[in-house]
Structure 1
C-alpha cells in the first residue's frame, strides 16, 4: 500500500498557494520585485500554477516553471489553458534544473526548498540565476530544534530531509555563494494564523484515496502540536 504524504494530499485536492501567508503574501512580495515584460522568472515547484499565471497576467514577464508531481502538472496546464497564458513547464525538480547557466533574473520558490536536498537545490538556483539576480523563497523554519524522534515524525510526514532554523537556512544560502541574504517577515504558526489571507483555492481530483485524509489529519495535528515551534520566513538572496 502506498504511503501518502502531505504533498500528495495537496496535489489530489489541487490546493493552490498552500504555503504560509498564502496568495496574499505572494502578491505582496511580487509587488516589490519590479517585474515587467523583460523579466525572465523561474518558479521552482509551481504546483497548480496559480502564481505563475498571475505573474504573466499581471506583469507580462517571461515565466518558466518546474514541477515534478504529475497531478500538479496536469492541473497547472489546465489552469494556464483556461487563463490563456503561455508558460514553459518542464517536468523536473529543483535539484537538477534543466536550464543552462545564468538564464533568469529571478528564481521563485514557495515552500519548495524544504522538501528537497537543500544543498543541491540551492546550488542549482544559484547556477541558473544571472549575476545580480534574485532568489526569493518562502520556507518552513523551526524556531528551535526538538528531540530527534519528534523531528523525525515531522520530516517523515512531509517527505523532508531535515528541519532548519532561519539561521541554518542562511548558512545554506551563503555556502552557495549568494552575496547577500535578507530574512524578512514570517513567524510561528501561532503568531501568523490570524493574519488576513485570501480564501483557499481547490481543484479536486476525480478519485481521492481515503489514505490521503490520514495525511491531512496528521498535518493538522502537527500544526496544532507545534504551532509555537514551526513557522516560516522569507529569504531574499542576491547573486
Structure 2
C-alpha cells in the first residue's frame, strides 16, 4: 500500500492556502510594503499557486513561483494558465535554487521552512535577495513547554524538520545572516466563517488521503494549545 505524506495530501487535494489565514494572512504580512510592477517576489514553496496568483493580480509584481513537488508545480501552472497570469513556475528545492544572486526583492515562504533544511534554505534565500531584500515567513511556532513525545508525534505526522519557539526562530534567522528580524503573532482564524483556501483536487483521490485528512483534523484539535504561528520578517 502506498504511503502518503501530509505534503502529498496538500498536493492531491490541491489545497491552495495551506498556511494559516490564507490570503488574509498574506495581506497582513505585505500590507506595509511598497510593491509595484517592477518588484520581484519569490513565492518559495508556492504549492498550487494561490498566493502567487494573488500577488500577480493584486500588485502586478513579477512573481516567481517555486516548489519542489511535481504535482504542486503542475497545478500551479494550470492555475496561472487559466487566469492568464505571467507567473513563472520553477520546479526546484529551496536548498539549491536556479536564481541569480541578488535578483529578488521579497521572498515569501508560507508554512514551508519548517519542512525544509532551514539553514541551507535560509542561506539560499539570503543569496538570491537583493541588498536590503526581505524574507517574509509564516511558520509553526511552539507555544509553551512541549514534551519531547508531543513534539515527536507532531513532527512525525507533518514531516517538520524543526519545531521552534519564537526565540529560536529569531536566533536562527540572525545566525543565517539576516540583519533585522521582527516576529509578530497572527490573529486567530480558527473561528473565521469565510473560506481561507481553495481546492484543485486531482481526479482520483485515494482513500488513504481522506484518512490522512481526518488525522490532520484530530491533530489540530489535540495539539492546538502548542501549535501556534508567527509572521517572521527578516531583512538582509
Aligned-CA RMSD value: 1.5
Q: Which residue of 2 is the match for residue 44 of structure 1?
A: 44
User: Are positions 1:178 and 2:175 aligned together?
Assistant: no
TM-score (norm 1): 0.93
| Superposition map of 1:124-163 within 5 A | 124-163=124-163
Q: Does 1:222 align with 2:219?
A: yes
Equivalent residue runs for 1:1-239 within 5 Å: 1-186=1-186, 192-195=189-192, 197-239=194-236
User: How far apart in 1 are the matches of 2:125 and 2:145?
Assistant: 27
Q: What SS does structure 2 have at the residue aligned with 1:42?
A: strand
Contact 1:24 1:198 in 2 (8 A): no
CA spacing shift, 1:40–1:154, aligned 2, 3 Å: same
SS of structure 2 residue aligned to 1:194: coil
For 1:113-156, what per-residue CA distance to the aligned partner results, in whole angstroms no more than 9, with x for missing partners? 11101111111111111111100011111113422222112111
Q: Unpaired segments of 5 or more residues in structure 1?
A: none
CA offsets per residue over residues 170-208 of structure 1, 9 Å max, x none? 111000111110011227xxx541346544311110111
Q: Distance in 2 between matches of 1:145 and 1:162?
A: 15
How far apart are the structure 1 equivalents of 2:222 and 2:74?
34
Kept in 2: contact 1:64–1:87 (CA 8 A) = yes
CA contact (8 A) 2:17 2:196 kept: no
Q: In structure 1, how many angstroms separate the alpha carbons of the residues matched to 2:200 and 2:190? A: 23
What TM-score does the superposition give when structure 2 sets the normalisation length?
0.94
CA change 1:173–1:199 in 2 (3 A) is: closer
Deviation beyond 3 Å, 4+ runs, structure 1: 195-199
CA contact (8 A) 1:114 1:140 kept: yes
Aligned CA distance change for structure 1 residues 180 and 133 (closer, same or farther; 3 Å)? same
Q: In 1, distance between residues paired with 2:105 and 2:60?
A: 14
